[in-house]
Amino acid sequence: MTDAVPEVKLSDVLERLHVVALPMRVRFRGITTREVALIDGPAGWGEFGAFLEYEPAEAAQWLAAGIEAAYRPRPEILRDRIPINATVPAVAPADVAEVLARFPGTRTAKVKVAEPGQSLADDVARVNAVRAMVPTVRVDANGGWSVQEAVAAARALTADGPLEYLEQPCRTVPELAEVRRRVEVPIAADESIRKAEDPLLVVRSGAADIAVLKVAPLGGVRPMLGIAGQIDIPIVLSSALDSVVGIGAGLVAAGCLPDLPYACGLGTGGLFAEDVAEPMMPIDGCLQVATAVPEPARLAALAAPAERRQWWIERVAACFPLLS
């Protein structure tokens, strides 16, 4: 197994597994219910929440992260308060205020753009609505544009004010590099790191100004910190639409980084209508570094149907051999 994953048996992991379905307040990544599998381990709770469309080879990294959290003590942290950004899904401008109200004290907002079925004009209107309420705005396209579309969007989205950065405007590393050459907005890379066979390629290629790192897709806190140690551009820690358990792992990772120049995307708990423990709420725009313990009553109330639990059991079994 990887150095992040202790020697555990599949049967032990499955005995400790809880599968939950978390209802969301708004549609995000095209879903309104987020399924995750939680592991009640001897060292704490871990989360396996690879998105449903991910094949075992990619999902295995997420399982490694969940096993690490459940079976290994957390590393020593360097800070106990993490500044976070608000996350604004592809909602109508009229709904922006309601979303931002879930992130009290935050002075940075990440706005989703390039949503299928929406236009650049929709993105501009949403960003401007956010900009009217929050001083610092960044946007995330999740690789949804071509180079030409990204260049045009960068111009349109900065016509009424600056952007802190533009996250993953295009899918490929060469496209990111081309956009970076043609726009003045800093470029951040997310999918080009967490979904890549070589997560450092985007940095070596000079294709990004900022690296967005996520614990689960990179195999856990320790592997993520190993990658962070090889990156010579600023790092933003973000969640992967995690439950309160996964957010705790992200906060630990952020707490371990020697430098944290940007607000982190770890405040996504506000996107859930229900969670397995009381959501962590920001104070003065920061979250306290803490790991979560699910409440038995919430685990029972949010338990996924039997056929979905069986699907996740089979998924864990398919991913487990790929950890070695």
| Catalytic (active-site) positions | 112, 214
Q: Of all helices (H) and strands (E), which one includes residue 307?
A: helix 306-319
Helix axis angle, 244-256 relative to 221-228, nearest 10°?
A: 40
Query: CB within 8 A of 312, min separation 6: which ones?
Result: 17, 19, 35, 37, 48, 304
Written as one letter, the residue type at 272 is F
Quick one: 14 exposed, middle or buried, by C-beta within 10 A (0-12, 13-18, 19+)?
A: middle
Residue 186 has phi, psi (to 5 degrees) of -60, 145
Q: Report the C-alpha gap between 260 and 236 in whole angstroms.
A: 7
Query: 67-91 burial, b if ≥16 CB within 10 A, otherwise e?
Result: bbbbbbebeeeeeebbbbbbbbbbb
Which residues are part of a known binding site for Mg(2+)?
140, 167, 190
Residue 77: name the closest of 250, 229, 238, 253 by CA. Answer: 253
Both tokens assigned to 137: 């705005």
Give the sign of the dihedral formed by CA 125, CA 119, CA 191, CA 7.
positive
Query: CB within 8 A of 321, min separation 6: which ones?
Result: none
- Strands 108-112 and 136-140 turn out to be parallel
Which DSSP string do the residues of 196-229 spell out, in sequence order? -SSTTHHHHTT--SEEEEETGGGTSHHHHHHHHT
Cα 163 off chain centre by: 20
